[in-house]
Amino acid sequence: MSKLDKGSKIAVIGSGSMGAGIAQVAATAGHKVCLFDNHSEALDAASGKLTKIFNRLVEKERITRSEADSILARIEFCQNLEDLAGSDLIVEAIVEDLEAKRNLFSHLELIADDNTILATNTSSLSIAKIASACSKPHRVLGIHFFNPAPLMPLVEIIPAVQTSGDALVEARNLIDSWGKVTVIAKDTPGFIVNRVARPFYGEALRILEEGIADVPTIDWAVKELGGFRMGPFELMDYIGNDINYVVTETVLQEFFYDPRYRPSFTQKRMMEAGWLGRKTGKGYYDYSEGAVNPKPTEDKELGQKVLHRILVMLINEAADALYLNISTREGIELAMTRGVNYPKGLFQWADELGLENVLSQLETLQKLYAEDRYRPSVLLKKMVKEKKTFYSENLIEN
Report the C-alpha gap between 208 and 204 in whole angstroms: 6
Report the C-alpha gap between 191 and 182 in whole angstroms: 13
Residue 287 lies in a domain: yes
Do 319 and 393 belong together in one domain? yes
Residue 2 lies in a domain: no
Residues whose CB falls within 8 Å of the CB of residue 343, separated by 6 or more in sequence, listed in order: 226, 227, 228, 229, 337
Rounded-to-10 torsion of CA 7, 12, 16, 17: -40
The CATH number of the domain holding residue 178 is: 3.40.50.720
Mark whether 123 is an active-site residue.
yes
Say which of 194, 241, 327, 377 is annotated catalytic.
Answer: 194
Of 187, 203, 225, the domain-final residue: 187
Residue 306 lies in a domain: yes
- pLDDT for res 224: 98
Whether residue 275 contacts residue 314, with contact meaning beta carbons closer than 8 Å, is answered with no
Report the C-alpha gap between 116 and 86 in whole angstroms: 8
Residue 75 lies in a domain: yes
From residue 205, give the alpha-carbon distance in Å to each of 6, 265, 274, 298.
45, 9, 18, 19
- pLDDT for res 392: 79
- pLDDT for res 6: 82
Count of domains forming the chain = 2
Burial class (CB in 10 A: 0-12, 13-18, 19+), 261: buried
Do 82 and 133 belong together in one domain? yes
Report the C-alpha gap between 324 and 318 in whole angstroms: 10
Do 341 and 296 belong together in one domain? yes
Whether residue 191 contacts residue 124, with contact meaning beta carbons closer than 8 Å, is answered with yes
pTM of the model: 0.94
The CATH number of the domain holding residue 309 is: 1.10.1040.50
Q: Which amino acid is at 155?
A: V
Do 178 and 202 belong together in one domain? no
Q: Whole domain around residue 357: which residue ranges? A: 195-398
Say which of 8, 15, 87, 123 is annotated catalytic.
Answer: 123
Do 261 and 387 belong together in one domain? yes
- List per-residue pLDDT tens for the chain, 398 residues long: 567 888 899 999 999 999 999 999 999 999 999 999 999 999 999 999 999 999 999 999 999 999 999 999 999 999 999 999 999 999 999 999 999 999 999 999 999 999 999 999 999 899 999 999 999 999 999 999 998 999 999 999 999 999 999 999 999 999 999 999 999 999 999 999 999 999 999 999 999 999 999 999 999 999 999 999 999 999 999 999 999 999 899 899 999 999 999 999 999 999 999 999 999 999 999 999 999 999 999 999 999 999 999 999 999 999 999 999 999 999 999 999 999 999 999 999 999 999 999 999 999 999 999 999 999 999 999 999 999 999 976 555 44
Say which of 8, 124, 126, 156 is annotated catalytic.
Answer: 156
Burial class (CB in 10 A: 0-12, 13-18, 19+), 109: middle
Do 54 and 150 belong together in one domain? yes
Say which of 144, 170, 264, 316 is annotated catalytic.
Answer: 144
Of 138, 158, 187, the domain-final residue: 187
The strand pair at 9-13 and 154-159 is best described as unpaired
Do 137 and 213 belong together in one domain? no
From residue 266, give the alpha-carbon distance in Å to each of 146, 166, 233, 275, 306.
26, 45, 12, 11, 18
Q: What is the DSSP letter of 160?
A: -
Do 212 and 183 belong together in one domain? no
Residue 281 lies in a domain: yes
Do 294 and 310 belong together in one domain? yes
Do 272 and 181 belong together in one domain? no
Mark whether 156 is an active-site residue.
yes
> Among residues 106, 372, 134, 337, which one has the least CA distance to residue 262?
372
Angle at CA 61, nearest 5°, toward 57 and 63?
A: 65
Do 38 and 59 belong together in one domain? yes
Q: What is the DSSP letter of 195?
A: H
Of 165, 187, 209, the domain-final residue: 187
Residue 96 lies in a domain: yes
Residue 294 lies in a domain: yes
Residue 333 lies in a domain: yes
Do 148 and 199 belong together in one domain? no
Report the C-alpha gap between 157 and 182 in whole angstroms: 7
Residues whose CB falls within 8 Å of the CB of residue 235, separated by 6 or more in sequence, listed in order: 200, 201
